[in-house]
Amino acid sequence: MQKQDKNSRYISLKKAANLCSYSHEYLGLRARQGKLKSLKLGSTWVTKEDWLKEYLAQIEERHHNAKRRIEQKQILAQALRPAFALLLIFALSIALIAAGFFSLDEQYLAVAGLSVVMGAQETYRGNIIIFKEYRQWVLDRIMKVPEEPEQPQKEQIIIKRIKPPTD
Protein backbone atom coordinates (compact mmCIF):
# COMPACT_ATOMS: atom_id res chain seq x y z
CA MET A 1 0.00 0.00 0.00
CA GLN A 2 1.06 3.52 -0.67
CA LYS A 3 1.62 5.77 2.27
CA GLN A 4 -1.08 8.49 2.23
CA ASP A 5 -0.32 12.13 2.96
CA LYS A 6 -1.56 13.25 6.38
CA ASN A 7 -3.73 15.99 4.81
CA SER A 8 -5.37 13.60 2.32
CA ARG A 9 -6.69 11.19 4.99
CA TYR A 10 -10.24 11.41 6.18
CA ILE A 11 -10.83 12.51 9.74
CA SER A 12 -14.00 12.48 11.77
CA LEU A 13 -15.72 15.76 12.56
CA LYS A 14 -14.88 15.22 16.24
CA LYS A 15 -11.18 15.24 15.36
CA ALA A 16 -11.74 18.18 13.01
CA ALA A 17 -13.38 20.08 15.89
CA ASN A 18 -10.13 19.70 17.85
CA LEU A 19 -8.28 21.44 15.00
CA CYS A 20 -10.51 24.52 14.98
CA SER A 21 -12.72 26.57 17.29
CA TYR A 22 -16.02 25.03 16.13
CA SER A 23 -17.82 22.13 17.76
CA HIS A 24 -18.33 18.85 15.95
CA GLU A 25 -22.12 19.47 16.01
CA TYR A 26 -21.65 22.75 14.15
CA LEU A 27 -19.26 21.14 11.67
CA GLY A 28 -21.85 18.39 11.14
CA LEU A 29 -24.48 21.02 10.43
CA ARG A 30 -22.22 22.74 7.92
CA ALA A 31 -21.41 19.34 6.34
CA ARG A 32 -25.14 18.53 5.96
CA GLN A 33 -25.69 22.00 4.46
CA GLY A 34 -22.89 21.37 1.97
CA LYS A 35 -20.81 24.29 3.21
CA LEU A 36 -17.99 22.06 4.50
CA LYS A 37 -16.68 19.50 2.04
CA SER A 38 -17.27 16.12 3.64
CA LEU A 39 -18.49 12.60 3.10
CA LYS A 40 -20.89 10.46 5.06
CA LEU A 41 -19.42 7.05 5.70
CA GLY A 42 -22.19 5.00 7.25
CA SER A 43 -23.58 7.23 9.98
CA THR A 44 -20.38 9.24 10.46
CA TRP A 45 -19.43 12.42 8.66
CA VAL A 46 -15.77 12.71 7.71
CA THR A 47 -13.68 15.42 6.10
CA LYS A 48 -10.07 16.09 5.24
CA GLU A 49 -7.76 18.59 6.91
CA ASP A 50 -7.36 20.39 3.57
CA TRP A 51 -11.11 20.73 3.23
CA LEU A 52 -11.38 22.02 6.79
CA LYS A 53 -8.64 24.59 6.12
CA GLU A 54 -10.45 25.73 2.95
CA TYR A 55 -13.69 26.14 4.91
CA LEU A 56 -11.96 28.09 7.69
CA ALA A 57 -10.29 30.35 5.10
CA GLN A 58 -13.68 31.06 3.50
CA ILE A 59 -15.19 31.91 6.89
CA GLU A 60 -12.26 34.20 7.70
CA GLU A 61 -12.63 35.98 4.35
CA ARG A 62 -16.38 36.49 4.92
CA HIS A 63 -15.73 37.91 8.39
CA HIS A 64 -13.05 40.23 7.01
CA ASN A 65 -15.36 41.47 4.22
CA ALA A 66 -18.22 42.02 6.68
CA LYS A 67 -15.96 44.04 9.00
CA ARG A 68 -14.76 46.12 6.05
CA ARG A 69 -18.35 46.86 4.95
CA ILE A 70 -19.28 47.90 8.50
CA GLU A 71 -16.25 50.19 8.71
CA GLN A 72 -17.14 51.76 5.34
CA LYS A 73 -20.71 52.41 6.52
CA GLN A 74 -19.42 53.98 9.73
CA ILE A 75 -17.06 56.26 7.79
CA LEU A 76 -19.90 57.30 5.49
CA ALA A 77 -22.20 57.94 8.45
CA GLN A 78 -19.57 60.10 10.14
CA ALA A 79 -19.03 62.07 6.93
CA LEU A 80 -22.75 62.67 6.42
CA ARG A 81 -23.61 63.49 10.04
CA PRO A 82 -22.79 67.26 9.86
CA ALA A 83 -24.58 67.65 6.53
CA PHE A 84 -27.64 65.85 7.88
CA ALA A 85 -27.62 68.03 10.99
CA LEU A 86 -27.55 71.20 8.88
CA LEU A 87 -30.29 69.87 6.62
CA LEU A 88 -32.43 69.01 9.63
CA ILE A 89 -31.89 72.46 11.15
CA PHE A 90 -32.72 74.09 7.84
CA ALA A 91 -35.93 72.06 7.46
CA LEU A 92 -37.01 72.78 11.03
CA SER A 93 -36.22 76.47 10.55
CA ILE A 94 -38.40 76.66 7.47
CA ALA A 95 -41.22 74.86 9.28
CA LEU A 96 -40.98 77.22 12.26
CA ILE A 97 -40.85 80.28 10.01
CA ALA A 98 -43.87 79.04 8.05
CA ALA A 99 -45.75 78.44 11.32
CA GLY A 100 -44.90 81.98 12.41
CA PHE A 101 -42.89 81.08 15.50
CA PHE A 102 -39.74 82.91 14.38
CA SER A 103 -38.79 85.64 11.99
CA LEU A 104 -36.28 85.03 9.25
CA ASP A 105 -33.65 87.16 11.01
CA GLU A 106 -33.81 85.05 14.20
CA GLN A 107 -33.53 81.81 12.22
CA TYR A 108 -30.65 83.17 10.16
CA LEU A 109 -28.70 83.94 13.32
CA ALA A 110 -29.47 80.51 14.78
CA VAL A 111 -28.19 78.63 11.71
CA ALA A 112 -25.13 80.84 11.38
CA GLY A 113 -24.35 80.39 15.09
CA LEU A 114 -24.67 76.62 14.85
CA SER A 115 -22.30 76.51 11.89
CA VAL A 116 -19.67 78.36 13.92
CA VAL A 117 -20.15 76.03 16.88
CA MET A 118 -19.70 73.03 14.58
CA GLY A 119 -16.34 74.47 13.57
CA ALA A 120 -17.13 74.63 9.88
CA GLN A 121 -15.84 78.06 8.85
CA GLU A 122 -16.07 77.36 5.12
CA THR A 123 -19.49 75.81 5.55
CA TYR A 124 -20.43 78.86 7.61
CA ARG A 125 -19.53 81.25 4.79
CA GLY A 126 -21.33 79.10 2.23
CA ASN A 127 -24.40 78.81 4.46
CA ILE A 128 -24.55 82.58 4.91
CA ILE A 129 -24.59 83.15 1.15
CA ILE A 130 -27.11 80.39 0.53
CA PHE A 131 -29.30 81.47 3.42
CA LYS A 132 -29.26 85.10 2.28
CA GLU A 133 -30.29 84.05 -1.23
CA TYR A 134 -32.99 81.77 0.13
CA ARG A 135 -34.19 84.48 2.52
CA GLN A 136 -34.52 86.90 -0.39
CA TRP A 137 -36.36 84.30 -2.44
CA VAL A 138 -38.81 83.64 0.43
CA LEU A 139 -39.37 87.37 0.94
CA ASP A 140 -39.99 87.84 -2.79
CA ARG A 141 -42.53 85.01 -2.76
CA ILE A 142 -44.27 86.38 0.34
CA MET A 143 -44.53 89.86 -1.18
CA LYS A 144 -45.97 88.47 -4.43
CA VAL A 145 -48.76 86.48 -2.74
CA PRO A 146 -52.06 88.01 -3.89
CA GLU A 147 -54.58 88.91 -1.26
CA GLU A 148 -57.56 86.62 -1.00
CA PRO A 149 -60.78 88.07 -2.37
CA GLU A 150 -63.36 89.03 0.18
CA GLN A 151 -65.83 86.27 0.88
CA PRO A 152 -69.49 87.19 0.50
CA GLN A 153 -71.39 87.39 3.73
CA LYS A 154 -73.52 84.42 4.70
CA GLU A 155 -76.70 86.49 4.56
CA GLN A 156 -76.10 87.24 0.90
CA ILE A 157 -75.56 83.57 0.16
CA ILE A 158 -78.80 82.66 1.96
CA ILE A 159 -80.74 85.34 0.08
CA LYS A 160 -79.42 84.10 -3.23
CA ARG A 161 -80.46 80.55 -2.39
CA ILE A 162 -83.95 81.55 -1.23
CA LYS A 163 -84.75 83.77 -4.21
CA PRO A 164 -86.73 81.89 -6.80
CA PRO A 165 -85.30 81.96 -10.28
CA THR A 166 -86.96 84.51 -12.55
CA ASP A 167 -87.75 83.76 -16.13
pLDDT attached to residue 2: 47
CA distance 86 to 92: 10
pLDDT, tens digit (0-9, with 9 covering 90-100), for 1-60: 445 555 579 999 999 999 999 999 999 999 999 999 999 999 999 999 999 999 999 999
- Sign of the dihedral through C-alpha 20, 22, 24, 30: negative
127-146 mean pLDDT: 68
Share of the chain above pLDDT 70, in %: 58
CA distance 148 to 142: 13
Local structure of residue 21 (DSSP, 8 states): S
pLDDT, tens digit (0-9, with 9 covering 90-100), for 103-117: 655 555 555 555 544
57-82 mean pLDDT: 89
